[in-house]
Amino acid sequence: VAWGSLASLLVPPLLVHRCRGHPALRRIGFLAPVRPASLLVGLGVGAFLGAHLLVTSSLTFGYAISVVSVAAYTSAVAYDVGANALSAEWLFRGALFSHWWRHWGFWGAVTVSTAFTLVRYLLDPALPQSPEARAGAIVYLAALALGAAVLRAWSGSLVPGYLASVAFFAAYRALVVW
Protein backbone atom coordinates (compact mmCIF):
# COMPACT_ATOMS: atom_id res chain seq x y z
CA VAL A 1 0.00 0.00 0.00
CA ALA A 2 1.32 3.45 -0.86
CA TRP A 3 1.19 5.14 2.53
CA GLY A 4 1.27 8.59 0.93
CA SER A 5 -1.99 7.80 -0.83
CA LEU A 6 -3.55 6.57 2.38
CA ALA A 7 -2.35 9.71 4.14
CA SER A 8 -4.34 11.72 1.59
CA LEU A 9 -7.47 10.36 3.30
CA LEU A 10 -6.67 12.85 6.07
CA VAL A 11 -7.01 15.85 3.74
CA PRO A 12 -10.85 16.13 3.67
CA PRO A 13 -11.29 16.02 7.47
CA LEU A 14 -8.40 18.45 7.93
CA LEU A 15 -9.98 20.86 5.46
CA VAL A 16 -13.31 20.67 7.25
CA HIS A 17 -11.61 21.29 10.58
CA ARG A 18 -9.37 24.15 9.44
CA CYS A 19 -11.58 25.91 6.87
CA ARG A 20 -15.16 25.45 8.05
CA GLY A 21 -17.08 28.69 8.12
CA HIS A 22 -14.54 30.75 6.16
CA PRO A 23 -16.64 33.31 4.20
CA ALA A 24 -14.75 32.98 0.88
CA LEU A 25 -15.03 29.19 1.01
CA ARG A 26 -18.73 29.30 1.88
CA ARG A 27 -19.21 31.34 -1.29
CA ILE A 28 -17.80 28.54 -3.45
CA GLY A 29 -19.97 25.91 -1.76
CA PHE A 30 -17.74 24.63 1.02
CA LEU A 31 -20.60 24.08 3.42
CA ALA A 32 -23.19 21.52 4.36
CA PRO A 33 -25.85 21.04 1.68
CA VAL A 34 -29.21 22.72 2.23
CA ARG A 35 -30.81 19.48 1.04
CA PRO A 36 -29.28 16.59 3.03
CA ALA A 37 -30.82 14.09 0.59
CA SER A 38 -28.44 15.51 -2.02
CA LEU A 39 -25.66 13.48 -0.37
CA LEU A 40 -27.43 10.25 -1.33
CA VAL A 41 -28.26 11.65 -4.76
CA GLY A 42 -24.58 12.50 -5.26
CA LEU A 43 -23.51 8.98 -4.32
CA GLY A 44 -26.23 7.61 -6.61
CA VAL A 45 -25.12 9.72 -9.58
CA GLY A 46 -21.52 8.61 -9.20
CA ALA A 47 -22.43 4.97 -8.60
CA PHE A 48 -24.74 4.95 -11.64
CA LEU A 49 -22.11 6.47 -13.93
CA GLY A 50 -19.43 4.15 -12.54
CA ALA A 51 -21.57 1.05 -12.94
CA HIS A 52 -22.57 2.12 -16.45
CA LEU A 53 -18.89 2.61 -17.32
CA LEU A 54 -17.99 -0.85 -16.04
CA VAL A 55 -20.82 -2.65 -17.82
CA THR A 56 -20.43 -0.76 -21.08
CA SER A 57 -16.65 -1.11 -21.20
CA SER A 58 -16.71 -4.80 -20.40
CA LEU A 59 -19.48 -5.64 -22.86
CA THR A 60 -18.35 -3.35 -25.69
CA PHE A 61 -14.57 -3.65 -25.52
CA GLY A 62 -14.06 -6.74 -23.39
CA TYR A 63 -12.22 -4.87 -20.64
CA ALA A 64 -12.03 -6.80 -17.41
CA ILE A 65 -13.63 -5.67 -14.18
CA SER A 66 -11.25 -6.68 -11.45
CA VAL A 67 -9.31 -5.47 -8.48
CA VAL A 68 -5.93 -6.83 -9.53
CA SER A 69 -4.27 -5.75 -6.27
CA VAL A 70 -6.17 -4.68 -3.17
CA ALA A 71 -3.23 -2.49 -2.14
CA ALA A 72 -3.09 -0.71 -5.51
CA TYR A 73 -6.87 -0.28 -5.61
CA THR A 74 -6.96 1.09 -2.06
CA SER A 75 -4.12 3.51 -2.83
CA ALA A 76 -5.83 4.73 -6.01
CA VAL A 77 -9.18 5.28 -4.27
CA ALA A 78 -7.44 7.03 -1.36
CA TYR A 79 -5.78 9.34 -3.90
CA ASP A 80 -9.21 10.02 -5.43
CA VAL A 81 -10.73 10.80 -2.03
CA GLY A 82 -7.95 13.07 -0.80
CA ALA A 83 -6.63 14.66 -3.98
CA ASN A 84 -8.28 13.92 -7.33
CA ALA A 85 -12.00 14.35 -6.59
CA LEU A 86 -11.37 16.93 -3.89
CA SER A 87 -9.25 19.23 -6.07
CA ALA A 88 -11.57 18.81 -9.07
CA GLU A 89 -14.62 19.82 -7.05
CA TRP A 90 -12.92 22.76 -5.34
CA LEU A 91 -11.46 24.11 -8.56
CA PHE A 92 -13.95 23.25 -11.30
CA ARG A 93 -17.29 23.37 -9.43
CA GLY A 94 -16.18 25.50 -6.50
CA ALA A 95 -14.00 28.37 -7.65
CA LEU A 96 -14.62 28.41 -11.40
CA PHE A 97 -18.24 27.28 -11.76
CA SER A 98 -19.39 29.36 -8.77
CA HIS A 99 -17.73 32.50 -10.13
CA TRP A 100 -18.98 32.06 -13.68
CA TRP A 101 -22.46 31.10 -12.47
CA ARG A 102 -22.81 34.53 -10.83
CA HIS A 103 -21.66 36.26 -14.04
CA TRP A 104 -22.91 34.09 -16.93
CA GLY A 105 -25.73 32.02 -15.49
CA PHE A 106 -25.89 28.26 -15.04
CA TRP A 107 -25.43 27.06 -18.64
CA GLY A 108 -22.51 29.35 -19.44
CA ALA A 109 -20.76 28.37 -16.22
CA VAL A 110 -21.38 24.64 -16.62
CA THR A 111 -20.20 24.68 -20.25
CA VAL A 112 -16.87 26.33 -19.52
CA SER A 113 -16.17 24.51 -16.24
CA THR A 114 -16.94 21.17 -17.91
CA ALA A 115 -14.62 22.03 -20.80
CA PHE A 116 -11.83 22.82 -18.33
CA THR A 117 -12.54 19.56 -16.49
CA LEU A 118 -12.21 17.60 -19.73
CA VAL A 119 -8.93 19.30 -20.63
CA ARG A 120 -7.54 18.45 -17.18
CA TYR A 121 -8.36 14.76 -17.48
CA LEU A 122 -7.46 14.39 -21.17
CA LEU A 123 -4.00 15.81 -20.44
CA ASP A 124 -3.49 13.34 -17.59
CA PRO A 125 -0.71 10.93 -18.63
CA ALA A 126 -2.37 8.17 -16.56
CA LEU A 127 -5.41 8.14 -18.86
CA PRO A 128 -5.20 5.18 -21.24
CA GLN A 129 -4.29 6.41 -24.72
CA SER A 130 -6.55 4.15 -26.77
CA PRO A 131 -9.17 6.04 -28.80
CA GLU A 132 -12.09 4.27 -27.13
CA ALA A 133 -10.74 5.06 -23.65
CA ARG A 134 -10.31 8.73 -24.53
CA ALA A 135 -13.79 8.92 -26.11
CA GLY A 136 -15.28 7.21 -23.06
CA ALA A 137 -13.44 9.64 -20.80
CA ILE A 138 -15.00 12.56 -22.64
CA VAL A 139 -18.51 11.12 -22.33
CA TYR A 140 -18.34 9.96 -18.71
CA LEU A 141 -16.35 12.90 -17.35
CA ALA A 142 -18.64 15.38 -19.10
CA ALA A 143 -21.65 13.61 -17.57
CA LEU A 144 -19.96 13.59 -14.16
CA ALA A 145 -19.06 17.30 -14.42
CA LEU A 146 -22.59 18.22 -15.49
CA GLY A 147 -24.05 16.11 -12.69
CA ALA A 148 -21.72 17.70 -10.12
CA ALA A 149 -22.66 21.19 -11.34
CA VAL A 150 -26.37 20.39 -11.09
CA LEU A 151 -25.80 18.98 -7.60
CA ARG A 152 -23.84 22.12 -6.64
CA ALA A 153 -26.65 24.37 -7.87
CA TRP A 154 -29.42 22.25 -6.29
CA SER A 155 -27.81 21.63 -2.92
CA GLY A 156 -25.71 24.78 -2.51
CA SER A 157 -22.74 22.58 -1.60
CA LEU A 158 -19.73 20.94 -3.21
CA VAL A 159 -20.14 17.82 -1.09
CA PRO A 160 -22.73 15.94 -3.22
CA GLY A 161 -20.62 16.43 -6.38
CA TYR A 162 -17.54 15.33 -4.45
CA LEU A 163 -19.33 12.15 -3.37
CA ALA A 164 -20.42 11.55 -6.98
CA SER A 165 -16.80 11.89 -8.13
CA VAL A 166 -15.50 9.56 -5.42
CA ALA A 167 -18.13 6.90 -6.25
CA PHE A 168 -17.42 7.18 -9.99
CA PHE A 169 -13.65 6.93 -9.61
CA ALA A 170 -13.96 4.02 -7.17
CA ALA A 171 -15.74 2.12 -9.95
CA TYR A 172 -13.30 3.32 -12.62
CA ARG A 173 -10.37 1.97 -10.57
CA ALA A 174 -11.86 -1.54 -10.94
CA LEU A 175 -11.69 -1.34 -14.76
CA VAL A 176 -8.70 -3.09 -16.28
CA VAL A 177 -7.83 -1.32 -19.54
CA TRP A 178 -4.95 -2.75 -21.53
Angle at 123 between CA 168 and CA 109, to 5 degrees: 65
Report which of 123, 147, 148 is spatially closest to residue 137, judged by C-alpha positions: 123
Rounded Cα gap, residues 88 and 77, in angstroms: 15
Helices 37-61/159-172 angle, 10° precision: 20
pTM over 0.95: no
Q: What are the tens digits of pLDDT across the range 96-144? A: 999 999 999 999 999 999 999 999 999 988 888 888 889 999 999 999 9
Question: What pLDDT shows up at residue 1?
Answer: 53
Q: How confident is the model at residue 147 (pLDDT cuts 50, 70, 90)?
A: very high
pLDDT of 9 over the 80 cut: no
Separation in Å, CA 32 to CA 36, 41, 164: 8, 14, 15
C-alpha 43: how far from chain center: 11
Q: How confident is the model at residue 2 (pLDDT cuts 50, 70, 90)?
A: low
Question: What pLDDT shows up at residue 31?
Answer: 80
List of E strands, 26-100: 64-65
Question: What pLDDT shows up at residue 63?
Answer: 85
**Could you say which DSSP state residue 125 is in?**
T
Question: What pLDDT shows up at residue 149?
Answer: 96
Question: What pLDDT shows up at residue 162?
Answer: 95
How many Å is the Cα radius of gyration of the chain?
16
Q: Tell me the sheet residues that pair with 175.
A: 65
Q: What are the tens digits of pLDDT across the range 53-106? A: 999 999 888 888 988 888 889 988 998 998 899 989 999 999 999 999 999 999
